[in-house]
Amino acid sequence: MSRAFRATVATAVAVGGLALAGLSPAQAAAPAPRRDLALEADMLAHIKVLASDEFDGREPGTEGEAKTLRYLGKLWFDLGLVSGTNDPGHPWFAPVNLVAREPAGSAAVFTRKGRRVYVPQGAVLMLTSGPRALVENAPLLFVGRADKADQLARSELAGRVVVLLDAGERDSERQNALLKAGASAVLTVLDDDRTLAQVTARRRRSGYALSSEALGGDLEGFIDAAAFDRLAVVAGTSLAALQAAAADPAFVPRPLDLAATLEATTRESTIRTHNLIGKLDGRRPDQGAVLFMAHWDHFGQCAEPPAEHLICNGAIDNASGIAALTEVARFLSRMPQADRDIYFVATTAEELGLLGAEAFAENPPLPLKQVVAAFNIDTVAIAPAGTPFAIVGKGMTRLDPQIAAAAKAYRRKLVGGEEANAYIKRQDGWALLQHDVPAVMVTTAYGDLKRLEAFFDSDYHRPTDVVKPGIELGGAAQDVGFLVQLGRWFADPRKVPAVK
């Protein structure tokens, strides 16, 4: 620690009422939150290092990753943490292999009664997440806007290419629902608001997945309005007629007198990256474990010349979260040994789709059912001191009553509603929830959504997310204090019995 550890009871109260040896939570609780400027300075020092240009935006699989993990690994080792991988072959750093795929080939042939129907070259874009996907001579089914795609019968969709009207940002959601429901492929007819060139530019970016995932089989595409109108006329209708039919509340999907052979291929590369896992051993590991998590990765170089700054440094997202995670580990490591094990996980590839957290859940260092509580930390340098705490994931786990009890004991104010749950799928805790791990974010950053959304509308995922004068760490420091309290609370089987 850059300053002598604040070991007195009064100072411990200032950083969040930390219950040291011999003191009950009620005795250690602070009468009111106060700023801990020393803790804020320690966090800022971490952020300045992790978000510096020297770390090249912390992109997985690069020298920026190596620098990031060396920095964090040394910090955690010096704090007294031990490797939490529980794998002698991979101490501290758990390998995560990613597959990056970018579109390579696209082909579409349409026929009517066995005769080919002309479509201009470049009027159709076909995509797949696997190495190759092919559908041959499949009939077309027009489903309109498919607002209730999950209600269409599998027998109605199976073996067909489903054609639907453009819905902008909702395309992916509807396409996935239709493919899951049994469609062989999905073809979206673009409207006047989007061109095929725009979609191509956006969708040509690489897609990422864990290399262990069984990919392939999904086939989605886009066709421009003029080309589809040509097809519709050959089939005895028109795009305008189909659009009018789809607007009728009584609309039902209708077959088109057309068939299609569609194909998409991708180019593939492998990225080798890592989760960093540390641990504080508990006295009674048979009683389960508490988990803290934050993602270390960002986007690397994300702009092109002549832009003045080319690197996405990710100061707030998520160097601030990693700084908070490290400080939580620091305080817990200086306190009496807890009953339960406490794990600290710095995940990779969150920005690529929560993939590091998914890899952790698929190959965990302990049985997931033993995780009593998991707390994710993400984008915390947002709110000032005194902002109430929100629970992202409120109502979705069994943790709420205990968090409320801890908040009452330590005089922490919680936000009443569940508005923060709108962001539940945008953070690593969501990947754990899919594996039935009780995971939440407890943070002031989501206690004032207007401030958070202002960040999302400005520096988020842009080269401007750098360390700026006056970066707000008041709420982040209070996050550290309460997370330490929650760590001690949930690591105590007397307060939180193990789930049978």
pLDDT in tens, 440-483: 999 999 999 999 999 999 999 999 999 999 999 999 999 999 99
List pLDDT tens digits, range 42-82.
999 999 999 999 999 999 999 999 999 999 999 999 999 99
Res. 17 pLDDT band, cuts 50 70 90: very low
Structure confidence at residue 439 (pLDDT): 98
Task: Assess contact for 280 and 338: CB atoms under 8 A.
Answer: yes
Q: Residue 446 has which token pair?
A: 């989501």
Residue 368 exposed, middle or buried by CB count within 10 Å (0-12, 13-18, 19+): middle
Can you tell me the distance from the alpha carbon of 72 to that of 68, in angstroms, rounded to the nearest whole number?
Answer: 6
Residue 20 has pLDDT above 90, yes or no: no
pLDDT at 16 over 90: no
Give dist(CA 54, CA 214) in Å, integer.
Answer: 36
Q: Give all domains of the chain, ordered by start, each with its CATH number.
A: 9-97+272-490 (3.40.630.10), 99-268 (3.50.30.30)
Closest by Cα among 431, 456, 436, 439 to 379: 456
CA 187 to chain centre: 27
389 DSSP assignment: B
User: Rounded distance, CA 226 to CA 215, Å?
Assistant: 32
Q: Centre a 10 Å sphere on the Cβ of residue 188 and count the other Cβ atoms it contains.
A: 24
| pLDDT at 214 (0 to 100) | 52
Mean pLDDT of 162-167: 90
3-state SS class at 311: strand
Mean pLDDT, to the nearest integer, of 393-416?
A: 97
Q: Which whole number is the average pLDDT over 368-380?
A: 98
Per the document, the length of the chain is 500
pLDDT over threshold 50, residue 25 = no
With a pLDDT cut of 90, the percent of the chain lying above it is 77
From CA 21, how far away is CA 33, in angstroms rounded? 21
pLDDT of residue 33: 57
Residue 168 is predicted with a pLDDT of: 66
Residue 271: the pLDDT is 95
Residue 8 in this model has a pLDDT that exceeds 70: no
Does pLDDT of 490 surpass 90? Answer: yes
**So what's the pLDDT on residue 152?**
78
Q: Return the DSSP state at 299.
A: -
**Residue 23: band (very low, low, confident or very high) from pLDDT cuts 50, 70, 90:** very low
Amino acid 87: pLDDT: 95
Q: How does residue 30 score in pLDDT terms, banded at 50, 70 and 90? A: very low
Question: Residue 208: pLDDT above 60?
Answer: yes
* Joined tokens for residue 475: 């709420």
User: Which stretch of DSSP H or E encloses residue 172?
Assistant: helix 171-180
Give me the chain's average pLDDT, please: 90
Tokens (6 digits) for 80: 């007294």
Q: How many Cα atoms within 13 Å fall on the side-chain side of residue 340? A: 26
Residues 349-369 pLDDT 10s: 999 999 999 999 999 999 999
When pLDDT is cut at 50, 70 and 90, the band that residue 176 belongs to is confident
- The answer, yes or no, to whether residue 3 has pLDDT greater than 60, is no
Query: What DSSP state is assigned to residue 348?
Result: S
**CA–CA distance, 181 with 403 (Å, rounded to integer):** 39
Alpha-carbon distance of 31 to 9, in angstroms, equals 13
In the chain, the percentage of residues whose pLDDT exceeds 70 is 90
Flag whether pLDDT at 108 surpasses 70: yes
**pLDDT computed for residue 216 by the predictor:** 55
d(CA 179, CA 217) in angstroms, rounded, equals 9
* Residue 106 CB coordination number (10 Å): 18
Q: Residue 31: its pLDDT value, please?
A: 46
- Check residue 170 and give its pLDDT: 62
Gap between the Cα atoms of 441 and 295, Å rounded: 13
CB 26 within 8 A of CB 306: no
Are the C-beta atoms of 92 and 252 separated by less than 8 Å?
A: no
pLDDT value of residue 308: 84
User: What is the reported pLDDT for 289?
Assistant: 98
pLDDT of 189 above 90: yes
The count of C-alpha atoms lying within 13 angstroms of the C-alpha of 102, restricted to the half-sphere facing its C-beta, is 8
Tokens of 229: 């109108």
d(CA 105, CA 292): 42
Count CB-CB contacts under 10 A for residue 486. 24
Q: How far is CA 171 from the centre of its chain?
A: 20
